[in-house]
Structure 1
Amino acid sequence: MGTHSLLPLAVALLGLLSPCVTRLTPRVSFLMGSPGRHLIRFSSPDVSNTTTLLLRDDGDVLYVGARDAVLELDVSHGDAITLKSKLDWSPSDKDLEQCSMKGKKMADCPNFIRVLQFLNTSHIYACGTFAFSPRCTYINSETLTMSSKPDEGRGRCPYDPYQRNTAIIVDGELYTGTVADYRGNWPVISRHLSEGRRVDLKLDDTLGWLEDPTFISSTFIPDEEKIYFFFSEVGREYDFIDKFIVSRVAQICMSDVGGQRTLQRRWTTFAKAQLLCQADSELPYNVIQDIDSLPPAQGAPADDTLFYGLFISQWSVNSGRSAVCSFRLADIKSVFSGNYKVLNRDTLQWSTRVQEKVANPGECGLHNASDNALRFVKENFLADDSVRPFGRSPTMVSAEHNYSHLRVQRVQAANSRDYTVLFLLTESGYLHKVVLLQSGAHIIEEIKVFEQSQPVKNLVLSIPKAVIYVGTSEGVVRVPTANCSFYWTCAQCVLARDPFCGWDPASRACVKVSDSQISLGQDIDRGNVEEVCNSVSITHRVRFGSNKLPAASCPAGELVSVSLNEVVRLQCPAASQLSQQLWERPNSRLSSDLYLHLGDGSLSFVATPTTLGHYLCLSTENGYQQTMAIYHVKQRSSPMAPTSYTRHHTHALPTTQSVARPGPGLHMSGGVWPNRITTEQGGTEPTLSSGDTQVTTRQLGGNITLWTLKSGQKEDEFWDREPQLLARGPCYLKELVVVSVLLVLCLSLLVTLLLYVFKQRCRRRTVPQARTPTRDSDRRTPVEQEAFRENQFQSKHNGQALQSGQASGLVCNGAFTGSNGHLPNTPI
C-alpha cells in the first residue's frame, strides 16, 4: 500500500482520536452601538479600504493606507478620531485603462496602499498596488506630502490587492516578503534601500526556496540581528496527492551581503523550518493566519521571546476550528542549529540522512565562506526537525470561532503577577479579549466592531495608550483594552477575571489597575468572590425564610397583576453568559407539574391560587449566587380581561441588606440596558421620597411596578439607600394579621361546637332509651338482636372519632395550614 492510499486512512483515524474541544463562551457580549462598550469610529464617504495602519511611537497619530490615499488621523483625544490631512495618490486614467486591458476588474485597479513603514523620524516609506503596477514613494510625515517622484515597487509590494505581503524597515533598509511578478508566481524575500557597501539581496529561485507561499508577518529580533518571516506554503517534503499546506518560519541575517562567486546578490543565511501547531493524537492546525511576538519579561533573556500564532486546519474534520500556539525563540534557534534535509536534484525528493556538515545553514557570516560551503547551504535550507509549540500543546483551541487576526500583550495584575492577554478578531466581526490561565483560556468579553465580514483587516495595539485599532474597509475603530467601569459591583468585577481591572474598596468602583496606587480586589486565576469581596461588604443574596415574612423583610420588587388561568412568564436576566439562573419560592418547591423552566432562564406557569405569590430569581456563576429579580404575582382586584404585555430583559432590584446593582446582560444593543422594562402600555409616575433620596415608581399597564432613579439623583446614593427605601414597598402585613385573627376565631368556634356535639352523644349512650321493635327485629333471635345493637354502638363511636381527628388536623399552631404546610396565597 503506497503513501497516497495511506493518507485518507490516516486522516480518518486521527479524526476519530481527536478529543472533544472545550466550548469557549465569551462571558459578556456587546453588540454594535452598545452603551456598555464605548467605541470610537472614523469613516468618511470618500475614503475606503482603510486596512494598512501605522501608529506613531507616542500613540497620538495614526497613519492609514487606504485606496488611492494616505491619511493622517489625530487619535490623541479619547472621545474622537479626527482627520488631520489626506494625501491623494491615485493612478491616472491611462494607468486604469492599461489595467483594464490586462483583464483585471476596474474595482481592483486603484492604488491600494500595502506598505507603510517609518523610514526615519521625518519620513514614511509607502508602496501601493497602483493599477497592478506597484509604486513606492517617500512621504514627509510632518506635512504628509511626497518628497520624491514614485519609483517602481516590484518586489516590494504585491501587484494584486488581495495578495498578502509583509514588510519591515530596520536601520533604513526595507525587508519584504511578497511576489515579484504580475501573475503572482514568483515569490521573493528581499532587501531594498541598501546603501554603501551593502547591496540589495533576494532569494535564489533555482531550487524553489519558496513553494507558493502566503506571507503573514515579519519581525526583528535585535539581540539576534536577524529578521524572522512567517508564512504558509506547500510542503514538498510530504508526498501526498493533495497539496499539503505547512506553516513556516524563515530567518535571514541582517549582516548578509551575499556570496562572492556563488550566491552573488543572494541570501547566504536563508533557512526555514516547519511550525507545528498540534496536540497529541490530533490532526495539525497547519495553516497560519496571523502571528505576533511577545517580548520577554523584564530581566528575562531574549530567548524567552514568545511568538503567538493563529492557525486553522485544511482538514474537513477540523473545519471551523481555530487554534493558538506559542513558540519560544530558544526552540526556533535550536531547530535551525540542528540537522537539515537533503534534496535529491534528480527526483526533487527530500530525504533525511546523517551527513557531514560542510557549513551550518542559517549561520551569520557565511558571505566570506568557500564556494563549497555556499553550495551546501544553498541546497540544505530546510531544517529536519519541526518547531513544536511551547508546552507541547496548543495554548487555546476554539471550535466555535474562525479567528483571522491576533495581538498579544503582557499585563501586570494587582498582585504583581504577569498575565498574557490575547485580542482575537473573528471573521464574523467580533473582537475577543482572552486571558490565558493555568486552567485554560477565559474569554472576558466579545465586542462587535463591524457588521460585514472584511476580506482584509489589520490590528494595531497601542500598549501606552491602552487601545487597539481595527482597520477595515468601512473605516477605523478604536477599542479601549479595558472596560472596568462596566462592572458595577465587587462581585462582577472579580468574576470578570480581567487583569486590567480591580475593585477599589474606597471608591466602591471597578477601576483600572494601572491607574490605582492602592491595593485592589482581584482574583484572576480562580474568580473567588467570597474571598476577595468579604472585606468590602459583599452582597449576599436574599433567601426567603421558612416562616412568615416579617415587615422588615417583606420583599419589594416587580408587581405582576394577572387573572386566574392566565399564562405567566417571568424573565430572569443573566449576570453573564457563563451564569446559570434558578428560581425559588417561599416555603414551596417549584414542581415540574406546575412550572416550566425555559431555555432563556425564564419561568412559565398558569396563574392559580396556588401559584400566586413571591418569586425570587437567582444567578449562579463560579460558585457565587446573586439576586437578579424579585416578582410578586398577584390576582387583579377587579375582574378585567387579561392585559398582554411584552418585557425584554425584565429586572427587579434586589432587596438585600447590602444591595448589588443588576449584573450585565448577555447582549447590549440599541441603547437599552437589560435591567429596564419595555412594555406596550404607558402609565403615571407618582413620586416616593425617603429622606433626601427620591425614586420614581411607574405603573406600567396596571401590571408592573418599576423602581427607577429620579432625574438628577446620584446613582450611588440610590444604591446606598435602596434597602430602606424598598422596605416601604407594597406590604400586606396588616391585612394578613386581620385575616389570621378571623381564621383563629372561626377555628375556635368550630372546635367548641364539635366538643359540644361529642358531649351530647356521650350522654345519650348512658341514658336508657325505649326502642320500638321493628318487623326485622321481631324475626331475629335474641342473640342476633344483641349483636346488632353492639355493631351500631361501635359504628357510632368510630364515626365520632374520625370527625374529631379531621377537625384537629385543620389547626396547626393556631393557624390554618394548607397541603404544602404554609399560608395559602389568597389575593387581597
Structure 2
Amino acid sequence: MGIHSLLSLSVVLLSCVSPSETGPTPRVSFSLGSPGRLVTRFSSPDVSNTTTLLLSHDGDLLYVGARDAVLALDVSNEDAITLRSKLDWSPSEKDLEQCSMKGKKMSDCPNFIRVLQFLNSSHVYACGTFAFSPRCTYINSETLTMSLKPDEGRGRCPYDPYQRNTAIIVDGELYTGTVADYRGNRPVISRHLSEGRRVDLKLDDTLGWLEDPTFISSSFVPDEEKIYFFFSEVGREYDFIDKFIVSRVSQICMSDVGGQRTLQRRWTTFAKAQLLCQADNELPYNVIQDIDTLAPAEGAPADDTLFYGIFTSQWSVNSGRSAVCSFRLSDIKSVFSGNYKVLNRDTLQWSTRVQEKVANPGECGLHNASDNALRFVKENFLADDSVRPVGRTLTMVSAEHTYSHLSVQRVQAVNQRDYTVLFLLTESGYLHKAVLLQAGAHIVEEVQVFVQPQPVKSLKLSTAQGVIYVGTSEGVVRVPTANCSAYWTCPQCVLARDPFCGWDPNSRACVRVSNSKSSLVQDVDRGNVEEACSSVSLTHRARFSPNKLSAGELVSVSLNEVVRLQCPPSSRLSRQQWERPNSRLSSELYLHLEDGSLSFVATPTTLGHYLCLSTENGFQQTVAIYHVRQKSSNTAQSQPSSHPVTQAGARPGPRSKLSEGTSEESELGRTEPTQSSRDAQTPTPQQDRDPALWTQESGLRGTKLWEEGPLMSARGPSYLKELVVVSVLLLLCVSLLITVLLYTFRQRCRSRTAPQAGTPPRGRRTSMEQEALRGPCASKRNGKTPHSAQAGVLVSNGALTGSNGHLPNTPI
C-alpha cells in the first residue's frame, strides 16, 4: 500500500470522528445598533458593492471601489462618514449589450472595482471587471479624476466579479494574482507597469505551475525583497479520487527579470509550498479563506514576521468550523531552501528523490544562470516539505462560527508586554475581537455589523485611528477597536481582559491604555479581580450582611401569584446563582429557569429578599437584588381565577427602588435579551452597562432594610394564627351544638319511659291491649303495617305507652 493510499484511508477514518473542540465563546455580545457599541455606517442609494477599500497614509480618507464608481470618503470625523467626491466609471450601453450576448447576467455586467492601490503620492491605480472586459486607469487622489484613458486590464483584474484576486504595488510596479482569460482557465501571477530595463513577467503555464487556484492575498517583505502570494489550489501531489484542495504560499523576487533564453519574460524565482494548518489527530483545515501579515516587533528581525490565516475544511465532518493558524517567515524560508518534489512528465505524478541540485529554486539572482540551471528550477518548483504552524498547533479553532476575513494587530498593555489581537468577521455578520493568551484565545466581544449575510471583500484596519473598516455590498461600516467605556466598574474592566483597556483609580473609569497613564489597573493574562481591584472591590459576604445590603428592586405581589425574578448575566462566561438570607431555596418551592431567572408562587413563606450572584473567573458579584412583599390592602387589585405571573426585572409593574422609593422600575429591571441564537443572553450596556455597579457603589449607598434582623424583614404578614383560631372556634361550636341536640333527645326519651300512676299491671293486660300498645313501630319491625282499626293506643296522663310499658318504637 502506497503513501497516498494510506493518506486516503486516514482521511476516511478521521472523517468519522466528530470534532470535540467548540472554541472560545464571546464574553459579551452587542446587537446591531446597540447604544453600548456605537458603529458608524455609510450607505447611499446609488452606491453598492463597496468591497474594495484603500486607506490613505494619514488615515483621514478612505478610497472605496464600488460598482461603477470610485469613492473618496472623509473618515476624519469620529461621529460620521461623509462622501467627499465620487468618480463614475461604468460601461457603455454597447459594452453591456456585448456582455449580455456572451451569456452573462446583466447583474454581473457592471464595472466592479477589484484593484485599488496607491501608485505614488498623487495617483491611485484602479482596475475593474468592466462588463467582462477588464479595464485599468490612473486616478488623481486629490480630485478623483482620471488622468489617462483607461487601458486593457487583462492579467491585472479578473473578468468575473465573483472571482477572487490579489494585487499589490511596490515601487510603482503592480504584482497581481488573477486569471488572464474570459473563461478563467489561465491563472497567472504577473508583474506590470515595469519601466527601463525591467520587463513585465508572468508564469510559465506549460507545466501547470498553478492548478485552478483561488487567490487570497499578497504581502511584501522589504528585508527579503520578495512578494509572497497566498492561495488555495488542487493538490496534484495527492492521489485522491476527489480533488484535494491544499493551501499554498509562493514567492517571487522583485529583482527577477526573466531568463535570457530559457524562461524569457517568465519568472525564474517562482516556488511554492503547502501551508499545513492541522492539529494532532484531526483532519487538516486545507482551504485558506483570508490571511494578514503581522510585522515583527520593534527591534526584532524580519524572520519574526508572522502570517495569520483563516482555514476551513472541504470535508463535511468539519462543516461550519474555522481554524486560525500562524506561520513564521523563518519557517517559510526554511522550507523553500530545502528539497523539492520531482514531476514525472509521463505519468504527471510527483515524487521525492534525492537528486543533485543544479540550482536552488526560489533563490534570487537566477536571471543570469545557465540554461541547465533554469530548466532545473522550471521543473522543480514545489517544495517537498510543508510549512507547519507556529508551535505545531492551531492558534484558534471554532466549531460554532465560520470566519471569512481577519485583521491582526499588536497591542502593548500596561505591563509593557505585547499582545496579539485578532479581528475576525463571521459569515453571520459578527465581528469578533480575540486576544491571544498563553492559555488560549479569549474573545473579548462580538459586534454585529450587518443582519443578512452578504459578500465581504475587504477588512481594513487603521491602527493609527484605532478603527476597523468593513466593506459590504450595502456600504461601509466603521467599528472602533476599543470599547472601554462599556465597563463601568473595576471588576468588569479587568474581567474583560482587553489589552486596549485599563481601570483608572483616579477617575474611577475604564479608559484606553496609553503611554501617559502607567497607573492603570489591568490583568490581561489572568483577569484576577481580587488582586487588581483590591482597593475598590467588596467581598460577597460583606455585601450580604444586614446593614450593608445594597439597594434593590421592590416587587409587590399578591398571594398565590406566580413570580419570576430576572437575573441579567454580567457576561456570557458567568454563572448565575440565587440566594436568600438565612433560607434555602428548595426545589419544591422554586424553579430555576435556563435563562438564569427564578420562578415561584408568592406565599407567606416565599416573601422576602432575593439576591442573584454572578461568578466569573473566580470572582463573585451581586447583579440583582429583589424584595418581594405582599401588596397592601389599598393597592391590591382583583386577581383572575388563573395564576397571574409577575416578572420582576422584565417589565414595568408595581415596584420601586428601595433606595429612592419613587422610581417605579429599577436599573436592574430594564434588561432585554440581545441574541436568541446564542445560548446565553447579555444585557445591552445602556440598559445595564455593568451590573457589577451594584456591587461596589450602590452597596455603600444601600438603605438599612434589616433594622430588625434579616429574618424579620424577609418575612411578610402571616395569618397562620388567625386560621388556627377560627378553625378551633368552629370546631367547638359544632361540638357544642351536637352535644345540646343529644342531651335534648335523651331527656325526651327518659320522660316517656318513666312509670305513670293508674297504669294497670302488666300481667293483667289482654293480648289485644298489648298489640295495641306496641303501636305501629312494632309492626314495622316485623315488616307489616297494621290497619288503623287494629292499632290501638292508650293515653294515660298525657303520655303514650305501649303494651310493654315503654315508649313506642323503643326496643324491649
CA separation of 1:725/1:323 partners in 2, compared to 1, >3 Å: closer, same or farther?
closer
CA separation of 1:721/1:283 partners in 2, compared to 1, >3 Å: closer, same or farther?
closer
2:269, 2:497 → 1: CA distance? Answer: 45
1:231 is displaced (CA, Å) by 0.1
Q: Name the amino acid aligned to 2:261.
A: R
Q: Is the contact between residue 562 and residue 642 of structure 1 (CA under 8 Å) also seen in structure 2?
A: no
Q: Is 1:212 equivalent to 2:212 in the alignment?
A: yes
CA separation of 1:211/1:724 partners in 2, compared to 1, >3 Å: closer, same or farther?
closer
> What pairs with 1:621-636 in structure 2 (closer than 5 Å)?
621-636=616-631
Q: Is the contact between residue 69 and residue 87 of structure 1 (CA under 8 Å) also seen in structure 2?
A: yes
SS of residue in 1 equivalent to 2:637:
coil
- TM-superposition CA deviations, 1:343-389 (whole Å, max 9, x none): 00111110000000011000000001111100000000000000000
Q: Is the contact between residue 199 and residue 257 of structure 1 (CA under 8 Å) also seen in structure 2?
A: yes
Q: Name the amino acid aligned to 1:93.
A: E
1:299 is displaced (CA, Å) by 0.9
Q: Is the contact between residue 246 and residue 274 of structure 1 (CA under 8 Å) also seen in structure 2?
A: yes
- TM-superposition CA deviations, 1:722-748 (whole Å, max 9, x none): 4565316797779969x99x99xx9xx
Q: Is 1:55 equivalent to 2:46 in the alignment?
A: no
1:455 is displaced (CA, Å) by 2.3
Q: Is the contact between residue 554 and residue 731 of structure 1 (CA under 8 Å) also seen in structure 2?
A: no
SS of residue in 2 equivalent to 1:303:
helix
1:386 maps to what in 2? Answer: 386
2:326, 2:291 → 1: CA distance? Answer: 9
Q: Greater Rg, structure 1 or structure 2?
A: 2
Q: Is the contact between residue 596 and residue 604 of structure 1 (CA under 8 Å) also seen in structure 2?
A: yes
> What pairs with 1:679-758 in structure 2 (closer than 5 Å)?
679=652, 697-699=662-664, 722-723=698-699, 725-727=701-703
Q: Name the amino acid aligned to 1:697.
A: T
Q: Is 1:469 equivalent to 2:445 in the alignment?
A: no
CA separation of 1:342/1:265 partners in 2, compared to 1, >3 Å: closer, same or farther?
same
2:580 maps to what in 1? Answer: 585
1:228 maps to what in 2? Answer: 228
1:135, 1:474 → 2: CA distance? Answer: 24
> What pairs with 1:478-517 in structure 2 (closer than 5 Å)?
478-514=478-514, 516-517=516-517
1:538 maps to what in 2? Answer: 537
1:642, 1:625 → 2: CA distance? Answer: 39
CA separation of 1:496/1:64 partners in 2, compared to 1, >3 Å: closer, same or farther?
same
1:266 is displaced (CA, Å) by 0.3
Q: Is 1:641 equivalent to 2:606 in the alignment?
A: no
1:25, 1:700 → 2: CA distance? Answer: 32
> What pairs with 1:265-284 in structure 2 (closer than 5 Å)?
265-284=265-284
2:486, 2:550 → 1: CA distance? Answer: 27
1:457 is displaced (CA, Å) by 2.7
1:357, 1:735 → 2: CA distance? Answer: 88
CA separation of 1:183/1:526 partners in 2, compared to 1, >3 Å: closer, same or farther?
same
1:717 is displaced (CA, Å) by 13
SS of residue in 2 equivalent to 1:10:
helix
> What pairs with 1:239-638 in structure 2 (closer than 5 Å)?
239-514=239-514, 516-535=516-535, 537-541=536-540, 549=546, 552-553=547-548, 556-638=551-633
User: Which of 659, 674, 678 in structure 1 is aligned with 2:651?
Assistant: 678
CA separation of 1:437/1:146 partners in 2, compared to 1, >3 Å: closer, same or farther?
same
Q: Is the contact between residue 651 and residue 670 of structure 2 (CA under 8 Å) also seen in structure 1?
A: no
Q: Is the contact between residue 699 and residue 705 of structure 1 (CA under 8 Å) also seen in structure 2?
A: no
CA separation of 1:574/1:723 partners in 2, compared to 1, >3 Å: closer, same or farther?
closer
1:483 is displaced (CA, Å) by 0.3
2:669, 2:424 → 1: CA distance? Answer: 42
SS of residue in 1 equivalent to 2:374:
helix
Q: Is the contact between residue 459 and residue 468 of structure 2 (CA under 8 Å) also seen in structure 1?
A: yes
Q: Name the amino acid aligned to 1:399.
A: A
1:417, 1:612 → 2: CA distance? Answer: 52
Q: Structure 2: any 5+ residue segments left out of the alignment? A: 672-690, 723-812
- TM-superposition CA deviations, 1:203-224 (whole Å, max 9, x none): 0010000000000000000000
1:579, 1:735 → 2: CA distance? Answer: 29
SS of residue in 1 equivalent to 2:540:
coil
Q: Is the contact between residue 42 and residue 475 of structure 2 (CA under 8 Å) also seen in structure 1?
A: yes
Q: Is the contact between residue 545 and residue 587 of structure 1 (CA under 8 Å) also seen in structure 2?
A: no
1:563 is displaced (CA, Å) by 2.0
- TM-superposition CA deviations, 1:545-597 (whole Å, max 9, x none): 68xx4xx4466411112222221111101000000000111111111121111
Q: Is the contact between residue 698 and residue 705 of structure 1 (CA under 8 Å) also seen in structure 2?
A: no
SS of residue in 1 equivalent to 2:390:
coil
CA separation of 1:696/1:365 partners in 2, compared to 1, >3 Å: closer, same or farther?
farther
SS of residue in 2 equivalent to 1:384:
strand
SS of residue in 2 equivalent to 1:205:
coil
1:696 is displaced (CA, Å) by 7.0
1:489, 1:719 → 2: CA distance? Answer: 9
1:193, 1:544 → 2: CA distance? Answer: 71
1:526 is displaced (CA, Å) by 0.4
Q: TM-score, normalised on structure 2?
A: 0.81
SS of residue in 2 equivalent to 1:308:
strand
1:533 is displaced (CA, Å) by 0.5
2:589, 2:135 → 1: CA distance? Answer: 74
1:545, 1:410 → 2: CA distance? Answer: 42
1:704, 1:168 → 2: CA distance? Answer: 54
1:88 maps to what in 2? Answer: 88
1:478, 1:219 → 2: CA distance? Answer: 24
CA separation of 1:70/1:641 partners in 2, compared to 1, >3 Å: closer, same or farther?
same
Q: Is the contact between residue 18 and residue 283 of structure 1 (CA under 8 Å) also seen in structure 2?
A: no
> What pairs with 1:48-197 in structure 2 (closer than 5 Å)?
48-197=48-197
CA separation of 1:613/1:146 partners in 2, compared to 1, >3 Å: closer, same or farther?
same
CA separation of 1:449/1:277 partners in 2, compared to 1, >3 Å: closer, same or farther?
same
Q: Is the contact between residue 26 and residue 572 of structure 2 (CA under 8 Å) also seen in structure 1?
A: yes
2:64, 2:113 → 1: CA distance? Answer: 9
1:9 is displaced (CA, Å) by 3.7
CA separation of 1:731/1:631 partners in 2, compared to 1, >3 Å: closer, same or farther?
farther
Q: Percent identity of the aligned residues?
A: 78
2:235, 2:417 → 1: CA distance? Answer: 41
- TM-superposition CA deviations, 1:664-688 (whole Å, max 9, x none): xxxxxxxxxxxxx532x689x99x9
SS of residue in 1 equivalent to 2:392:
coil
SS of residue in 2 equivalent to 1:13:
helix
Q: Name the amino acid aligned to 1:640.
A: Q
CA separation of 1:554/1:170 partners in 2, compared to 1, >3 Å: closer, same or farther?
closer
CA separation of 1:705/1:500 partners in 2, compared to 1, >3 Å: closer, same or farther?
closer
Q: Is the contact between residue 24 and residue 442 of structure 2 (CA under 8 Å) also seen in structure 1?
A: yes
Moved more, 395-404 or 506-515: 506-515
SS of residue in 2 equivalent to 1:625:
strand
1:459, 1:314 → 2: CA distance? Answer: 24
Q: Is the contact between residue 564 and residue 607 of structure 1 (CA under 8 Å) also seen in structure 2?
A: yes
CA separation of 1:357/1:398 partners in 2, compared to 1, >3 Å: closer, same or farther?
same
1:518 is displaced (CA, Å) by 3.0
